[in-house]
Chain A
Amino acid sequence: MKKDIILAGVGGQGILSIATVIGEAALTEGWNIKQAEVHGMSQRGGDVQSNLRLSTEPIASDLIAKGGADIIISLEPMEALRYLPYLKKDGWVVTSNVPFINIPTYPAQEELDAHLAALPHCVSLNVEQLAKDAGAPLQAANMVLLGAAIPMLDIELEKIEAGIRRIFARKGEEVIEKNLAAVHAGYNNSIKK
């Protein structure tokens, strides 16, 4: 088992929570993990990414090589495209299609959608709407995205669920259930396709 994952988004969107849940599941499997994060200046509304590497073998580099990632998981459509040079030719892109527009030069949404649709393996979904439909708060949109990526991660849904239960244990049953509902909404959306 070896998965190289690029998590992308805009500072403050919550990509690190996705990494935390995947990391928790991987840790209980006894896998090796390396996760490079971005802290500091770029967190202020700039583009942020995290390299998450999972393997049953030892992992050398903290960074993923260009052309080495199995999957890009992005909370923002343009940010998903930013890391395409890091993706394997047959890699997956799983992204929210809700743009985060805080710059004047942001591309037109139709063009973004068209570029995503032209990728060989892409799941693009409205994570905010799906979270809402599932009765989960907006903050759980990142868990919808995580759910959508599960089929491409080779981690069983149950293991991600267990990870969520452990991570949110302190916050009570209601928070756990909402996050699980969000994960299921994303998961079902991917399975359907």
Chain B
Amino acid sequence: MRKLLLGDEAIAQAAIDSGLSGVYAYPGTPSTEITEFIQLREEKRGEGQAPIFCRWATNEKTAMEGALGMSYMGKRALVCMKHVGMNVAADPFVNSAMTGVNGGLVVVAADDPSMHSSQNEQDSRFYGKFALLPIFEPSSQQEAYEMTRAAFELSEAVKLPVLMRVTTRMAHSRAVVEITEQPRKQNEVCRPEDVRRWILLPAFAKKRYVELLAQQDDLMKAAVESKFNWYRKGDNPERGVITTGIAYNYFMENCANCNERSVLKVSQYPLPTALIEKMVEDGTKEILVMEEGQPVVEEMVRAIVPSTVVVKGRLTGDLPRVGELTPDSVRASLGMEALERLDADELVVPRPPALCQGCGHRDMYKALNEVAAEYENPRIFGDIGCYTLGALPPFQALHACVEMGASITMAKGASDAGQFPAFAVIGDSTFTHSGMTGLLDCVNSNANVVVVISDNLTTGMTGGQDSAGTGKIEDICRGLGVHPDHVRVVVPLPKNMEEIKQILREEIEYKGVSVVIPRRECIQTAKRHAKARAAAAKK
């Protein structure tokens, strides 16, 4: 059967066809569509089909742990996140290599080189290497489908999680994918025989680590023999190219019919050293490494080849050190002339993204800016979500924005250092993702901070997924110990401006932890809900 699928959807379809029992994820561009595809299948599930657990997790760490628990029971599980989510999930991810798995466990990390929708360009392959786990990196949507299926098989064969690394242009690009007509059945429950490998006490963990290291030879053998990795000697083998993941496509775009260079296509790790050694044996004197993200392979190749072999890539400036690869940058690295083209038009000006007209975050920022301006040196610590756009004109409200949850703890640290007033601005979903623990820190030291939880009842930036804290935010704050009198809810609308400003002023003057919750539904999800209600009413 042929289907037009995003790379993300190909991974989801493959997981379903591989007998998946649960997907665990927190939304994050460019990974969100994997889980959404499975949720849609779950909504339309037929009678004979086994259910797949697919509810959004509170963050990437809880997602990874949930998946590990499902794997413990012998079932197949999938974890999906954007690259920075790997930082949040790092503890269970790295330790899942120590426990190993029971049912197949595949972890998808979607990297975002060029930072289309992210704050850094970190390369998730480092995590795979660090944790000593096998990594897959597909070069096409078809490969993404086949590799996900292969990853579940490999995971159960070697009893380890497998990391699947994709990048934006793989995740968010569509192509026709040939999918199976015979999906695999889900695994039956089968608890692990040896529970000691699941208990990482030092005495047991020491033994497990030796086993994990001993497995590396098998993983290397699997990579060398993998059908996803291949080497082809060129007509002029002095020059060679190593491509990883979708870099192969950019190479082929420019060199589809030239057999001059030797080519090593890498899509499964550990890096197949034997194939690189073969390339050198065949006479390659210069290797150009093309990889999306950071120069992970380039650095490794330098350590493998003799010093007489020249290694080129992002570190040498033959390819740009920052940003995603393009057919153009790869073309230039091959010494080919650029295509003839028109000049850029000087009339064109940037059109940055902005908060939607009518968005509640706008009213929140208007009030906050006006009240903050009444103080000599206010500081507003921002967080990750649509409301990060409050850093741009017209509001320019933020003085910092680092990572999920940092608004609250940074405001606290700044307050500890003498900042007054110290504000945190965080969304509802980001608050439950990583803000709650920081709020407890604030309570425990009675920090003089005003935490604004701008609650739009959804995870907005990624397209309106369910938010873990909806309907529970005040209870969570009070439960963590914020005094009930200082948990204040307002409705961010222009008509309430004076009331919101007054409440903010009162809470600034309160010497302790205040939480102000401007709450109004995201206008994008509100529109969608209104449409659905109208459609339901028609029926």
* A10, A40, A87, A112: most-surrounded residue (chain B CB, <10 A): A40
Would you give the 0/1 interface string for B185-226, flagging 1 where the beta carbon is closer than 8 Å to chain A?
000000000000000000000000000000000000000000
- Which residues of chain B are within 8 angstroms of A60 by Cβ–Cβ distance? 249-253, 256
A102 touches B338 (CB 8 A): no
A33 touches B176 (CB 8 A): yes
B173 touches A37 (CB 8 A): yes
CB proximity of B330 to chain A, nearest CB, Å:
9
A105 touches B349 (CB 8 A): yes
CA distance A109 to B327 in the complex (A): 33
Known: A60-B253, A65-B253, A105-B349. A40 touches B173 (CB 8 A): no
B117 touches A41 (CB 8 A): yes
Return the contact of A63 from the options B326, B351, B354 (Cβ within 8 A): B326
- Which residues of chain A are within 8 angstroms of B440 by Cβ–Cβ distance? none
Q: Check if A38 is an interface residue, CB within 8 A of chain B.
A: yes
Q: Check if A137 is an interface residue, CB within 8 A of chain B.
A: no
CA distance A81 to B175 in the complex (A): 27
Q: Check if B498 is an interface residue, CB within 8 A of chain A.
A: no
CA distance A46 to B351 in the complex (A): 5
Q: Check if B370 is an interface residue, CB within 8 A of chain A.
A: no
B343 touches A84 (CB 8 A): yes
CB proximity of A42 to chain B, nearest CB, Å:
5
Q: Smallest CB-CB separation from B171: which chain A residue?
A: A39
- Which residues of chain B are within 8 angstroms of A34 by Cβ–Cβ distance? 173-175
Interface residues on B, range: 35 or more
* B328, B342, B349: most-surrounded residue (chain A CB, <10 A): B342
CB proximity of B154 to chain A, nearest CB, Å:
26
- Which residues of chain A are within 8 angstroms of B52 by Cβ–Cβ distance? none
Q: Check if A36 is an interface residue, CB within 8 A of chain B.
A: yes
CA distance A59 to B4 in the complex (A): 14
CB proximity of A83 to chain B, nearest CB, Å:
9
CA distance A65 to B328 in the complex (A): 6
Interface size for A (C-beta < 8 A) is 48
CA distance A35 to B6 in the complex (A): 8
- Which residues of chain B are within 8 angstroms of A66 by Cβ–Cβ distance? 328, 338-339, 341
A61 touches B253 (CB 8 A): yes
B29 touches A85 (CB 8 A): no
CA distance A40 to B82 in the complex (A): 12
CA distance A38 to B353 in the complex (A): 12
A36 touches B253 (CB 8 A): no
- Which residues of chain A are within 8 angstroms of B252 by Cβ–Cβ distance? 60-61
CA distance A67 to B326 in the complex (A): 13
CA distance A103 to B349 in the complex (A): 9
Residues of B239-295 whose CB lies within 8 A of A? 246, 249-253, 256
B117 touches A39 (CB 8 A): yes
B347 touches A42 (CB 8 A): no
* A11, A62, A85: most-surrounded residue (chain B CB, <10 A): A62
CB proximity of B489 to chain A, nearest CB, Å:
26
B250 touches A61 (CB 8 A): yes
Q: Check if B184 is an interface residue, CB within 8 A of chain A.
A: no
CB proximity of A27 to chain B, nearest CB, Å:
6
Known: A46-B352, A112-B347. A23 touches B342 (CB 8 A): no
Residues of A90-122 whose CB lies within 8 A of B? 102-103, 105-107, 111-112, 115
Q: Check if B1 is an interface residue, CB within 8 A of chain A.
A: no
Q: Smallest CB-CB separation from A44: which chain B residue?
A: B353
| Interface residue ranges, B against A (CB under 8 Å) | 2, 4, 6, 29-30, 32-33, 116-117, 169-170, 172-176, 246, 249-253, 256, 326-328, 331, 338-345, 347-356, 386, 389, 461-463
Can you list the 8 inter-chain pairs with the closest CB atoms, starting with the nearest? A67-B341, A67-B339, A40-B117, A40-B29, A46-B353, A60-B252, A61-B253, A44-B353
| Interface residue ranges, A against B (CB under 8 Å) | 10-11, 23, 27, 32-47, 59-68, 78-79, 81-82, 84-89, 102-103, 105-107, 111-112, 115
Q: What are 29 of the A-B contact pairs (CB < 8 Å)?
A: A10-B351, A33-B4, A34-B175, A36-B172, A37-B174, A38-B116, A40-B29, A41-B353, A42-B116, A42-B117, A43-B353, A44-B356, A45-B351, A45-B353, A46-B353, A46-B354, A47-B350, A61-B252, A62-B175, A63-B327, A64-B327, A65-B253, A65-B331, A78-B348, A78-B351, A79-B351, A81-B345, A84-B344, A89-B342
